[in-house]
Structure formats: structure tokens, C-alpha cells
Amino acid sequence: MDTYEDLGMGNGHTGHGHTGNSHMGNGHTGNGHPWFGGHRLRPAASADTIRQMLRHELRDTGWPHQRLLPAAPMAIPRAAYAEVFRVSVALIELLRRTALETGPTTADRLTAYDMPATEDRLWVRDPFIEERYADSVVRPDLVIGPNGPQFLEFNVSGALGGVVETQSRLAVWRRLHADAEGRTPFRSPSPFAVRAEMFRSLSAELALAPRVAVVGSARVIGVQRRYFEMEADYYNSHGLSARFFEPEELHEAWDCAPHLRHPIGLRNFTIPDWLEVGLDTAPVQDALDNGCLLVGTQTSTFMHSKLTMGLLSEGRPWMTEGERRLVERYLPWTRILSERKTDREGRQVDLLPFVLANRELLVLKAGLGESGKQVVIGREVDQAGWESAVGAAVEAGTSVVQEFVRPQTCRVALIADGSDEPHDVDVAPVLGPLVFGGRPAGLFCRFFGDGSAGIVSVRGGTSSSDNVMVAI
């Protein structure tokens, strides 16, 4: 059985979880870091078959054309896979507690975070329900640094990228790699299956009918109607009643006969995306006011803000020693940027002078931002550019600085447009574990197919690719 390919132990590491300089594309064997393991799955069909299947599965969703596609799922050891989700769930709970303790009420938190006025809307009337379901849909972003996983940010929103993509990639890999009994040589949860289970639990907790509204809009840039309908179709074929609603249709979720209502649902949009294309959020507020609960709730924006990560990294008075150690191990040093003293490697430093003098060690990030648009990597700008960006961020008061993590590499087989055979590349992946209702729901992964590292946004760069990471 040649399902697995042995990559051997790559050069550039000691075998003890630490690695030296791992050069991409230098012809060495094995993965660039032992965390990724020493095996990978072989391609299970011809390059053309794989390419056609991957493209067909994501057709008509708005997903951009990718010149480089994966030849097989990315495989990591079961222990590494488990670590990602175990730590994700623990950090999400700490993040939630940190966000909520910034103020006893929503109004207090809006002030503490200096939230833009556009985000002060779409609140659920019951504050406990509003807070309870803020973290229903989360995707942290992490890279594998020299010492293992490092969580760079937390995307907390019902409108996460990677869900439909992971579902689609998995569907292809399961068809290609399954044996006659339907068994695959890898393990991964299905995002839609876990989300369906989340909605079943939600309807049971609230004693509501398991009828799900998927709320979004195909008028948002980069998304088509099938993107939302795929999820609704899945629910309808797996024991839930579901429907995709554009905003102007949403009154039909509550202004109807009781047995036809959709009392729970997915808030698969962001306020900025809707405002960008002139969509009104008032129908969503009407639905919330008339008993529809759409998750994740607006409180998710506080968790999504990188300011919360800065507070958590600095440590909260209520944290246990075990929680502090978890944060120190898995979060890179992150601080809310202002003129003050703070702890750095066990000593007190003046934060602003330290930041200005150490741009090569640091990354500057706005509290709220999407697709890496509000991120400045210190080593990629000159000193004048860094000082200008830092000055503007201090004035705004809603940014963090974070220690730069050098991402480690793993070896993948990719299929280029027009090619008959896969080729190998060492890539530096950004891992996106999907966590729905506290449950692991699949591991989305993005990378630059040319082997470069940096801010990876599939919608933002022509050379970026995506895949799903599975356990073997």
C-alpha cells in the first residue's frame, strides 16, 4: 500500500521542536519542521482529474481562480492536529472572558474599544443571549514557528472565510482517497456537519424549531449565491430545515405562520462588507427584534478585535498559572500600542521607544481589519515608513504590536495550470482551524504556492492557494 509518502527528516531542524534557517526550494528532503510530521498523502488521480474536480466543487461561489492547486490533502500527525484544536478552544474561552470583562455592558465595551459607530448595531435584546453566543463561529489564524504553533489572530464572525472551501476540498479528497468501504486514510471533521450539529444544539438549548436562516448577500464583492445555498442545501438534506435569505427577504423568516419561521440562523456577513455595497442592515435588526437569533452575535466584534489579544497576551488578574503558561507558549508577545511601560521577556520597557527601535522584530496591526489590509510587517518597510505607521497608530489608539514569527515550511505537491504532473514546493502555511460551538470543524490552510511567506489572503494575492489539513 503506497498511500503515504515518507518525506524523511528534513534538514534545518534538530528533531527537538526547534529549527534553524529553513530555506525554501533548496532541494532538501522532508518537511522544514518536525511538527508537520514525516509523511504525506500521494496524489490519488491524474493532475487533470484532480484539477477538474477541485474547480468543479467550488464553481459559482466567487472563489478566485488559482493558478496552483493542491495535488492531495495536507497531512499532519494526529497529535499535531489535536494540539491545534485543544489550544484553539482553550484560547477562545480566554479571549471571550477577556473581551467581556472590559466592561459590564455593551455600551461600556463600545467605549473601551473605541469601536466605530458603524459597529453599534445588530444587538440581541437579551444581553445574556447576546454574550452567550458571541463565540459560536471562530477561526484563529496560526503559523508554525520555530517552537511550534503560534496564534497570530482570531477571526470571530459568522462570515468566516474557509468554511465552504474546506467543505469542498474535503469532498474531493474523500472521493479520491476512499476505499471500497468508503474509508479514507485520513481524518477530518466536515465543517457543514459540525455546523449542523451546532444548530441542533442551539435549537434544543433555546427550545426553538430547528429551522435555520442562512443570512448573507450575493451582492457582496467576491461572493455568489451558490456560496450560501450550498450550506442551506446541506442542512436540508441532513435533517434541518434551512433557507438562504438576502436582507430584503429576511422578514419572511419571522413575519409568517409560526410553523414556517426560521428562529435561529447564521449571520454570514460583516457590517463593513454590506456597507461597502450599499446594503441596509435594518432588516437584520428587525429579525433580531422579532425573535430570530443569528450567530455569532455582534459581541463577536470585541473578541475579533486584536486589542483583546493584546490584553490576553499581557495577562489578566484572574488567569491561573496554567492559563498564563498556555498564553505565553502559544500567543506571540502582543501589546496594545500606547505610550506606557510594559513587560518584555521579564523586564520592564518603555513600549513606544522599544517599538520604534525594533521594527525587524515586530508587526503592527490595527484592532479591526480584514485580509491583512491593516498590517505592517516591520522588516518589510524602511525605518521612516515604520515610524510613520507607528505614529499614526499611536494617535488612533486602537492598534497592537506583535512579535514577528518566522513561519516554518512543509513540503507539498502542487498542480500548475497546464501541467500534466504535480511539482514539489516548500510552503509556509497559515492554518485556520474552524471551531463551531466549541467543536473542531476542519482545518483550513492557505499558502503562497511560489514558496514565499507573508500576509496570505486567498482573495488578495494571485499566487496564494488553499487546501484542507487532515490528520494521519
Please give the pLDDT value at position 457: 54
Please give the pLDDT value at position 19: 31
- Checking if the pLDDT of 373 tops 80, the result is no
Q: List all residues 6 or more positions away from 76 whose beta carbon is below 8 Å from its beta carbon.
A: 35, 36, 37, 469, 470, 471, 472
pLDDT bin (cut points 50, 70, 90) of residue 8 is confident
In eight-state DSSP terms, residue 259 is G
Q: Lowest mean pLDDT of 46-60, 171-185, 251-265, 447-461, name the range.
A: 447-461
Query: Residues 416-426: pLDDT tens digits?
Result: 999 999 999 99
Residue 309 bridge partners (DSSP): none
The rounded distance, in Å, linking the Cα atoms of 408 and 262 is 45
Query: Residues 322-341: pLDDT tens digits?
Result: 999 999 999 999 999 999 99
The rounded distance, in Å, linking the Cα atoms of 267 and 1 is 45
pLDDT bin (cut points 50, 70, 90) of residue 458 is very low
C-alpha angle with apex 300: 296 to 301, nearest 5 degrees? 130
- Checking if the pLDDT of 26 tops 50, the result is no
- Checking if the pLDDT of 22 tops 60, the result is no
Q: Lowest mean pLDDT of 158-167, 210-219, 408-417, 458-467, name the range.
A: 458-467
- Checking if the pLDDT of 16 tops 70, the result is no
Query: Residues 180-238: pLDDT tens digits?
Result: 999 999 999 999 999 999 999 999 999 999 999 999 999 999 999 999 999 999 999 99
Statement: the pTM of the whole predicted model exceeds 0.85: yes
Residue bearing cell 529549527? 19
Query: Residues 380-394: pLDDT tens digits?
Result: 999 999 999 999 999
